[in-house]
Structure 1
Amino acid sequence: MIRLLRPAAAGFVALLLATACQRGPLTATAHLPSTATSQPVGSAIVPDAGADAIIKPYHDKVLAQMQEVLGVAPVALSKNAGENLIVNFVADLQRTAAAQALHEPIALGVMTNGGMRAPLPAGPITLGNVFELMPFENELMVLDAPGPVVQQLFDYAAPVRMAISGATYTVGPDKRPLDIRIGGQPLDPTKTYSIAISDYLAGGGDNMAFLKTVVPRHTGLLLRTAIADHIRVLTKAGKPVTASIEGRVK
Structure 2
Amino acid sequence: MQRSFSYIVLITWFLLAWSCKTQYVTTSLKKSNHEVVNAAVPLDSQLVSIYLPYKSVLEKDMSRVISVSEQEMVKDRPESSLTNFLADMMLKEGAEIAAGLNKDIRPDISFLNYGGIRTFLPRGEITVHNIFELMPFENEVVFIQLSGEQVQEFLNYVAENGGNSVGGIRFKISENKAANVEIGGKPLSEKELYWLVTNDYVAAGGDGFDVFTRRKEFVAGNVKIRDVIIAHLEKELDNGRQISAKPDGRIVYE
TM over 0.5: yes
**Residues 1:49 and 1:68: Cα distance change in structure 2 (over 3 Å):** same
How far is 1:235 from its partner?
Answer: 1.2
Segments ≥4 residues shifted beyond 4 Å: 19-22, 34-38, 42-45
Please list, as runs of the form range in 1=range in 2, the aligned pairs for 1:38-187 lying within 5 A after superposition.
39=36, 45-103=41-99, 104-159=105-160, 160-172=162-174, 174-187=175-188
Percent identity of the aligned residues? Answer: 26
Residue 241 of structure 1 aligns with which residue?
A: 243
Cα distance in 1 for partners of 2:238, 2:193 equals 35
**Residues 1:32 and 1:192: Cα distance change in structure 2 (over 3 Å):** farther
**Residues 1:32 and 1:84: Cα distance change in structure 2 (over 3 Å):** farther
Secondary structure at 1:60 match in 2:
helix
Q: Which runs of 5+ in 2 are unaligned?
A: 30-34, 100-104
How far is 1:91 from its partner?
Answer: 1.2
Checking the alignment, whether the CA contact within 8 Å between 1:32 and 1:46 is kept in structure 2 is no
Cα distance in 1 for partners of 2:43, 2:250 equals 53
Q: Which residue identity does 1:196 align to in structure 2?
A: V
How far is 1:47 from its partner?
Answer: 2.3
Secondary structure at 1:54 match in 2:
helix
- Whichever structure has more strand as a proportion of its residues is 2
Which is further off, 196-205 or 223-232?
Answer: 196-205
Secondary structure at 1:79 match in 2:
coil
Q: Give the one of 19, 25, 49 matched to 1:33.
A: 25
Checking the alignment, whether the CA contact within 8 Å between 1:76 and 1:121 is kept in structure 2 is yes
Q: Deviations over 1:37-63 (max 9, x none)?
A: 7648x8754422222211111111110
CA RMSD of aligned residues (A): 2.6
How far is 1:20 from its partner?
Answer: 5.8
Residue 18 of structure 1 aligns with which residue?
A: 9
